[in-house]
């Protein structure tokens, strides 16, 4: 690195550096430059009205569901995501998840915040991330869904509900729950620590990717059973309906 580059590094703040290619771009918005943004595939209007996955075959209906949502009704109201889980997005999310690229939370966080606003989902009472098992979180050192939910909480002023949704496989959770609840939760993967805190609340649940939707729907089911009024989902990326992609 020559002197000029060092000076540039000092002069330009982090927000002027593209997180993807590392270029200095003055007044860069959202931590990603236009060229790198072009390499990402964003979810377009052709998507399932409920789970939000991209659909390649699409009728111009107001309510168009993917095959999964047609046969399996969801507990959550709707799920949205800015990106399709493919190509560059997939690479970046994997780096965020497994390679400690924690600063990506700002880039992804900005994208999700915009999507939440565009989808009129910013009026939720509580925002929280899908919990990892404590074993996994301790091994990884962080939970990427929680990093995003904290970012969204600060940016949109939605109260954080972190710590309220728990994995029932965690042994300390078994101690927190009463015996009756413990028996009920043997069947479920998730539980709520203080149901009174989510009673009647609309909850925005955050995760990194939406693939089958099984995990977030299980979380939504638990939250509703424990008294939540409604659950909406926002993830960084969502699956592409591959069957339709080939047609």
Using rule CB under 5 A, residue 40 touches Zn ion: no
Listed ranges 30-38, 79-87, 157-165, 221-229: which one lies at the site for Zn ion (CB under 5 A): 30-38
**Closest distance between Zn ion and the C-beta of residue 87, in Å?**
15
Strand 165-167 and strand 190-192: the pairing is antiparallel
The interface region with Zn ion, picked from 61-69, 84-92, 119-127, 231-239 by CB under 5 A, is 61-69
Q: Does 107 bind Zn ion (CB under 5 A)?
A: no
Name every residue whose Cβ is closer than 8 Å to that of residue 154 and which is 6 or more positions away in sequence.
none
Contact flag: residue 66 with Zn ion (CB under 5 A) = yes
| Long-range pairs, 24-29, Cβ under 8 A, ≥24 | none
Give least dist CB 16 to Zn ion, A. Answer: 11
Contact, 187 vs 239, CB < 8 A?
no
**Interacting residue with Zn ion among 17, 28, 55, 69 (CB under 5 A):** 69
Q: Quick check: 214 binds Zn ion (CB under 5 A)?
A: no
Q: Which range touches Zn ion (CB under 5 A), out of 10-18, 107-115, 159-167, 193-201?
A: 10-18
Three-class secondary structure of residue 147 per DSSP:
helix
Whether the CB-CB separation of 42 and 85 falls below 8 Å is answered with no
- Residues in the site for Zn ion, rule: CB under 5 A? 18, 20-21, 33, 36, 48, 50-51, 66, 69
């Amino acid at each position: 690195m020559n002197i000029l580059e060092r000076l540039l590094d000092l002069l330009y703040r982090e927000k002027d550096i593209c997180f993807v290619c590392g270029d200095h771009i003055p007044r860069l918005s959202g931590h990603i430059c236009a060229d790198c943004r072009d390499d990402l595939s964003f979810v377009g209007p052709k998507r399932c009205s409920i789970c939000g996955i991209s659909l390649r075959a699409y009728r111009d209906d107001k309510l168009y569901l993917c095959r999964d949502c047609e046969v399996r009704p969801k507990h959550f109201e709707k799920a949205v995501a800015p990106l399709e889980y493919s190509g560059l997005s997939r690479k970046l999310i994997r780096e965020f998840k497994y390679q400690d690229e924690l600063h990506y939370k700002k880039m992804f966080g900005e994208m999700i915040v915009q999507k939440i606003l565009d989808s009129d989902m910013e009026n939720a009472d509580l925002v929280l991330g899908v919990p990892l098992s404590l074993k996994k979180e301790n091994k990884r050192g962080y939970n990427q869904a929680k990093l995003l939910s904290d970012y969204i909480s600060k940016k949109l002023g939605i109260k954080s509900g972190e710590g309220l949704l728990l994995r029932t496989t965690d042994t300390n959770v078994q101690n927190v729950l009463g015996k009756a609840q413990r028996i009920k939760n043997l069947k479920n993967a998730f539980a709520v620590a203080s149901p009174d805190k989510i009673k009647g609340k609309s909850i925005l649940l955050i995760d990194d990717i939406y693939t089958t939707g099984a995990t977030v729907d299980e979380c939504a089911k638990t939250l509703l059973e424990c008294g939540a009024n409604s659950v909406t989902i926002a993830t960084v990326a969502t699956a592409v309906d591959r069957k339709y992609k080939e047609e």
